[in-house]
A and B are shown apart, each in its own frame.
Chain A
């Protein structure tokens, strides 16, 4: 075991997978400039800079993937993905199906997002749910350094296109990470804390806020179970349902806005398949339906914090009046 940051976990996973599989290559805006160690070890053919042109970066990845390579592309910030939606959604996501399974698109798209840098909404937009809605894609958004490494390795080995979102606030967060081979399967949530009173489901930075909320709830005698989804598609519905059947109460927490977000999806799944187990309505604690502001105080105000999460959970447990 080693203690390294999330950013180092990304680098480690990339280097290990490029070493393991000669089909893996990486390109994007500044990839060769910034990832000097990868460039030195794997050469200019496999570690490439590109023009600032997200459409052709993603399209080139899809074309290379169709031919059997395993490209990893860095599109830097999630809002930039909107410039590459055609290649990701219409090509990588659909062409396996439209070809009747003749072609596969094993590729990974990296993008950072979330509050933490104060640069505003064209660099910070948690739009991961848009990709969850698109068929043929897998979507990952981890919280812990070990999961970043293990899930990125799994994503690179996966035969499908994977959107890999990194929470910008967690980049320098250290964590214990296994050295060498450490693969976390896509589609498995992690139960970080067991509890029988209420289930807190989240992903990315708000997982930490849920754990802090669970501490506060514990001080009031309420045992919260905390689930880190880690993969948003495929979603680990079994773990969510198992927990809610045990606790009877659910709060879903994410920084992304509420409309048609992961919270809506999780709430709908629970309503469809565990309604009988619910002792209280499902609650969502999310970011606002507003672009992310640049001002530090406004940016942070848009992130669900431990107090609000604990309050929502407490409302469900003690049966306080629901907000209008």
Chain B
């Protein structure tokens, strides 16, 4: 009997890939889209280890985290296209999406903005604020670029000294906008750097969704059980450019090819095929299902109306 969870992780990664590649073809209509292509295992592995009472803060590559959390591809695309049916009624675009119904508090395009708010979200959970489910934890997704921001170290230090239930998840994708990670940091891993703050810091292969899921379950259990922070680093690679469109002329072709050979979706597909948990025909069926979902989502988004022009100045003040 197939392990439906392992298959469903594969399908969710495929959905993220298809969703992002659809948006990437629309560069002119979805300004500034920063895709999560190549980083799907990080999103699926971690988000699947969470509970509904947990809260998520993420960054400009957030579509994977949102889709893994159950976001509707059509509403996300509508948001990216600036349409009224988006999660934020077209005001956020792809770069600032939040979805209260999913416990996604923030997508920050200010690199590190998600890290600045995370301790406060966790403080409300720790104090049991009204309307906040007890026992929840805060998960904050950021990259190696954000780890070079001062706010990262401020955030980790406060979470440690105040003993806050924060899971810091660093997707080290080797690129900080248009700058290679090795030009900006002393070490290949952020984890080496962060251990001095006095919290567990574990680095795993971020392209292996099962390794990520396992590490995330350990991390989540630690944070939930002890109420203290934990740092999880997922080594991965940004397969597309910083934002769309980007010809990636600055990327070493051999390096990109090496990482594509370790593509997270291909890894999981081949693992399940080799184990006999899915057959080739079933994989083709997953592909068709994902393609149909994304096609319908894109149709929904394109047919969604533009926001009413009065929305220009609504929601500024409560």
Residues on A facing B (Cβ under 8 Å): 22-23, 25, 45-46, 48, 50-51, 53, 55-56, 58-69, 71, 86-87, 90-91, 95-104, 106, 135-136, 138, 158-160
Contact = CB atoms under 8 A, between A and B. Distances in A.
B221 interface: no
A63 B120 CA distance: 4
Contact of A98 (B98, B162, B318): B98
B318 A50 contact: no
A101 B55 CA distance: 18
B88 A62 contact: no
Nearest to B57: A63
Contact of B91 (A51, A100, A106): A100
A61 B113 CA distance: 13
Given A55-B116, A55-B154, A87-B116, A100 B105 contact: no
B154 A67 contact: no
A101 B313 CA distance: 11
A63 B118 contact: yes
Contacts of A55: 116, 150-151, 154
A48 B126 CA distance: 14
A101 B129 contact: no
B317 interface: yes
A66 B117 contact: yes
Nearest to A135: B316
Given A69-B127, A102-B88, A53 B120 contact: no
A14 to B, nearest CB: 18
B132 interface: yes
16 contacts: A22-B130, A51-B154, A51-B158, A59-B117, A60-B120, A64-B123, A67-B129, A68-B132, A90-B110, A91-B106, A95-B106, A99-B96, A103-B105, A136-B317, A138-B317, A160-B317
Interface of B: 55, 57, 86-92, 96, 98-100, 105-106, 108, 110, 112-113, 115-125, 127, 129-132, 150-151, 154-155, 157-158, 161-162, 314-318
A159 B318 contact: yes
Contact of A56 (B55, B90, B119, B121): B119
B290 to A, nearest CB: 28
Contact of A97 (B99, B112, B316): B316
Contacts of A65: 120
A177 B92 CA distance: 44
B119 A60 contact: yes
A71 B121 CA distance: 12
A87 B88 CA distance: 20
B129 A86 contact: no
B105 A63 contact: yes
Contacts of A90: 108, 110, 113
Contacts of A101: 314-315
Given A51-B157, A99-B92, A64 B315 contact: no
A59 B151 CA distance: 9
A21 to B, nearest CB: 10
A60 B154 CA distance: 10
B106 to A, nearest CB: 7
Contacts of A87: 113, 116-117
A58 B105 CA distance: 16
Interface centre among B55, B112, B123, B151 (most CB of A within 10 A): B123
Contacts of A53: 154, 157-158
Contacts of A106: 318
A96 B316 contact: yes
A158 to B, nearest CB: 8
Contacts of B86: 100
B108 A91 contact: yes
Nearest to B95: A98
In the A-B complex, the 9 residue pairs with the smallest Cβ-Cβ separation, listed nearest first, are: A63-B120, A59-B116, A67-B124, A63-B117, A159-B318, A64-B120, A56-B154, A100-B88, A60-B120
A67 B317 CA distance: 17
A67 B121 contact: yes
A67 B127 CA distance: 11
B137 to A, nearest CB: 13
A265 to B, nearest CB: 18
Given A55-B151, A59-B119, A50 B158 contact: yes
Contacts of B123: 60, 63-64, 69
Given A59-B119, A86-B116, A67 B132 contact: yes
Given A95-B98, A97-B91, A67 B120 contact: yes
Contact of B318 (A22, A86, A96): A96
Contact of A66 (B92, B96, B105, B151): B105
B316 to A, nearest CB: 5
Contact of B121 (A63, A96, A99): A63
Contacts of A22: 130
B134 to A, nearest CB: 13
